[in-house]
Amino acid sequence: MWKAVVTAAVAFVLLFCRSSTLDNGLARTPPMGWLAWERFRCNVDCVDDPYNCISEELFMQMADRLAEDGWKELGYNYLNIDDCWMSMDRDEQGNLYANKTRFPNGIKKLADYVHSKGLKLGIYLDFGTHTCGGYPGSIKYLQKDAETIAGWGIDMLKMDGCYANVSDMSWGYPDMEMYMNKTGRPILFSCSWPAYAGGIKVDYSVLAKHCNAWRNYDDIQDSWDSVTHIIDWFGDNQDVLAPVAGPGHWNDPDMLIVGDYSLSYEESKAQMAMWAILAAPLFMSNDLRSISPEARSILMNKEVIRISQDSLGMQGRRVIKDHNGIDVWTRPIEFPDIPSYGVAFLNRRSDGIPYNYTLTPGDLNFKCGSCLGYQLTDVFSGQDYGHCAPFQEFTVSIVPNGVVMVYAVPTSLDVTSKLR
Ligand code: GLA
């Protein structure tokens, strides 16, 4: 008799208790890949614009580029569909399906193709009644949609929050996570919940239990103003945001627009550097079929990617704000005993010459401990600034709307070789 009671109790626990953390093992470092939205939007005109419309052809071509042009090897392995992939209606059983003209072979076939290239496929749903582009929403179909995408072999879900009550999100996003877990397929879960709940008016500890990443704030647009607006918001709210980021759960300032129309070369470097300092997901939204060599070299910079993907998973902070027009951000990386740092000097000045900025490692509150000082190396140019004692001055020269990014490695350790 007691055996039956114990068995029933165990079954009850297994059935009704949820784990308290999102334990899908994914996104131990900020996820990387490509996402359609910023560059390709909701272009569904495959008659007049077949090369750029949201279609299986577009995603297969981007998969080819990710797999064949060296992106995948650097970590850019998620290929993500965004809005406007669906048919306008569900089928008679209530299932979602892709637009049949633009995705004639369906999403499962596309997933098979993407997997055959050694990549992962992400898809987009919306928690509300409709997606932001007006396609069917998931609010009444969470379990069904979780099962559908798992059945297709989807590896990542971006769940948007248009046409929904923010108050419903506190059960809706956790429910979606539960239904995806139940499918048994690990699916990286990106939640747009905070972006709809005012950015900082959410309990991020709850978010971290249910989501691998979350969009916090405004959509990025193709402009330097948009990039700096987002960076400033992350700096202004860093006391809320930085502590909640870590392996498995990341703040997301939105896509990288490097390689698109608006950013200069220097501005592109600045976005890449800042996204690495912020421990942000690195989802490019650009045209990999025609990307310039300059944009490619920025996005493929191994040293910046190394900072982005650092295993400590600590989000960086703005430690100096607008001192003579320069913001300085630091991110602790790798060596936990005597931390080293990624440092970004962001020039907000509009006078047209490079600005020489002088400071000491001590000004940045580096926790040097017993170290002799720091070896400073420019991440983009490779310039060696030499060894700098904790209160010894060094100078960086930063162009307008540009960044200088350095590694600061404690010199009491023989670590420089490990970084190369
Ligand atoms: C919202 C999201 C964007 C994109 C669009 C699609 O605006 O924030 O990232 O997914 O919807 O309609």
Confidence category of residue 203, pLDDT binned at 50, 70, 90: very high
pLDDT at position 7 is: 41
Cβ(160) to ligand 1 under 6 A?
yes
Atom of ligand 1 nearest to the CA of 124: 10
Which residues are tagged catalytic?
160, 219
Q: Whose CA is nearest to atom 12 of ligand 1?
A: 132
Residue 9: is its pLDDT beyond 80? no
Structure tokens at 126: 């919306």
247-254 mean pLDDT = 98
pLDDT at position 21 is: 47
- Interstrand relation of 326-333 and 374-378 (parallel, antiparallel or unpaired): unpaired
Expressed in angstroms and rounded, the spacing between residue 325 Cα and the centre of ligand 1 is: 32
pLDDT at position 413 is: 53
Q: Whose CA is nearest to atom 1 of ligand 1?
A: 132
Q: Whose CA is nearest to atom 5 of ligand 1?
A: 132
Cβ(218) to ligand 1 under 6 A?
no
Structure tokens at 309: 């993907």
DSSP-based three-state secondary structure for 93: coil
Expressed in angstroms and rounded, the spacing between residue 345 Cα and the centre of ligand 1 is: 30
Q: Whose CA is nearest to atom 11 of ligand 1?
A: 132
Across all residues in the chain, what is the average pLDDT? Answer: 93
Cβ(334) to ligand 1 under 6 A?
no
pLDDT at position 404 is: 98
pTM score, whole prediction = 0.93
Contact 102, 46 (CB under 8 A): yes
252-271 mean pLDDT = 98
Expressed in angstroms and rounded, the spacing between residue 298 Cα and the centre of ligand 1 is: 25
Confidence category of residue 23, pLDDT binned at 50, 70, 90: confident
- Interstrand relation of 394-398 and 374-378 (parallel, antiparallel or unpaired): unpaired
Residue 414: is its pLDDT beyond 90? no
Q: What phi, psi does 48 have (nearest 5°)?
A: -90, -20
Atom of ligand 1 nearest to the CA of 215: 8
Cβ(133) to ligand 1 under 6 A?
yes
- Interstrand relation of 188-191 and 156-160 (parallel, antiparallel or unpaired): parallel
pLDDT at position 12 is: 40
Expressed in angstroms and rounded, the spacing between residue 218 Cα and the centre of ligand 1 is: 10
Give pLDDT tens digits for 83-97.
999 999 999 999 999
Cβ(219) to ligand 1 under 6 A?
yes
Structure tokens at 303: 């040293």
Cβ(122) to ligand 1 under 6 A?
no
Residue 59: is its pLDDT beyond 90? yes
Give pLDDT tens digits for 204-236.
999 999 999 999 999 999 999 999 999 999 999
Helices (H), 17-124: 37-40, 56-68, 71-74, 106-116
Give pLDDT tens digits for 86-132.
999 999 999 999 999 999 999 999 999 999 999 999 999 999 999 99
Give pLDDT tens digits for 142-194.
999 999 999 999 999 999 999 999 999 999 999 999 999 999 999 999 999 99
Atom of ligand 1 nearest to the CA of 255: 9
Residue 417: is its pLDDT beyond 80? no
Contact 253, 216 (CB under 8 A): yes
**Order of strands, edge to edge, in the sheet holding 384-388?**
317-323, 326-333, 340-347, 403-410, 374-378, 384-388
Expressed in angstroms and rounded, the spacing between residue 234 Cα and the centre of ligand 1 is: 19
Residue 18: is its pLDDT beyond 90? no
Burial (CB count <10 Å: 0-12, 13-18, 19+), residue 387: middle
Residue 1: is its pLDDT beyond 60? no
Give pLDDT tens digits for 368-390.
888 899 999 999 999 999 999 99
283-309 mean pLDDT = 98
pLDDT at position 39 is: 98
Cβ(128) to ligand 1 under 6 A?
no
Sole residue written with tokens 């009550």: 165
Expressed in angstroms and rounded, the spacing between residue 47 Cα and the centre of ligand 1 is: 24
The kind and range of the H/E element at 52 are none
The kind and range of the H/E element at 346 are strand 340-347
Q: How far is CA 369 from its chain centroid?
A: 32
Q: What phi, psi does 240 have (nearest 5°)?
A: -85, -40
